[in-house]
């Protein structure tokens, strides 16, 4: 069965440190890729998405992600984190072609940024 793996379940960083969160998926076909963020007590918000084209995508709040097809990866990066980035981050994949585009989520990474 298709799956999405996020290897880092908990990450603690100091402000201004660089961030990289890993995401790998298991599916040999075409995929759409997403990163969502969930701040404490809030709903999932889209950070960035990849459908096609330039494998390096930029999202909101200074986040970016790179799709490496050969590695089935879509890692999230931010050069300098802020305390306000403390949240849970989910990688999600939808499979193509498909009658619907339900998401398969990774297990999430809880990021804590220390001021």
Partner 1 sequence: AAGVIQSPRHLIKEKRETATLKCYPIPRHDTVYWYQQGPGQDPQFLISFYEKMQSDKGSIPDRFSAQQFSDYHSELNMSSLELGDSALYFCASSFGTSGTDTQYFGPGTRLTVL
Contact set with partner 1 (CB under 8 A):
4, 32, 34, 36, 42-46, 49, 51, 90, 96-108
Taking the least distance from each CB to partner 1, the nearer of 39 and 83 is 39
Provide, rounded to whole angstroms, the least separation between the CB of residue 78 and partner 1: 20
Provide, rounded to whole angstroms, the least separation between the CB of residue 115 and partner 1: 26
**Can you tell me the distance from the alpha carbon of 115 to that of 33, in angstroms, rounded to the nearest whole number?**
31
Taking the least distance from each CB to partner 1, the nearer of 28 and 97 is 97
Provide, rounded to whole angstroms, the least separation between the CB of residue 17 and partner 1: 25
Phi, then psi, of 28 in degrees rounded to 5: -85, -10
- Going by the DSSP 8-state scheme, the letter that residue 51 receives in this structure is -
Q: Do 93 and 30 touch, CB atoms closer than 8 A? A: no
Nearest in space to 21 (alpha carbons), one of 84, 92, 90, 113: 90
């Amino acid at each position: 069965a298709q799956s999405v793996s996020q290897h880092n379940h908990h990450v603690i960083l100091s402000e201004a440190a660089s961030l990289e969160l890993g995401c790998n998926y298991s599916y040999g076909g075409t995929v759409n890729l997403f990163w969502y963020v969930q701040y404490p007590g809030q709903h999932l918000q889209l950070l960035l998405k990849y459908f096609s084209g330039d494998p390096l995508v930029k999202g909101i709040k200074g986040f970016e992600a790179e799709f490496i097809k050969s590695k089935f990866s879509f890692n999230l990066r931010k050069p300098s984190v802020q305390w306000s980035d403390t949240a849970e981050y989910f990688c999600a994949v939808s499979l193509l072609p498909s009658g619907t585009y339900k998401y398969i989520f990774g297990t999430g990474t809880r990021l804590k940024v220390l001021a």
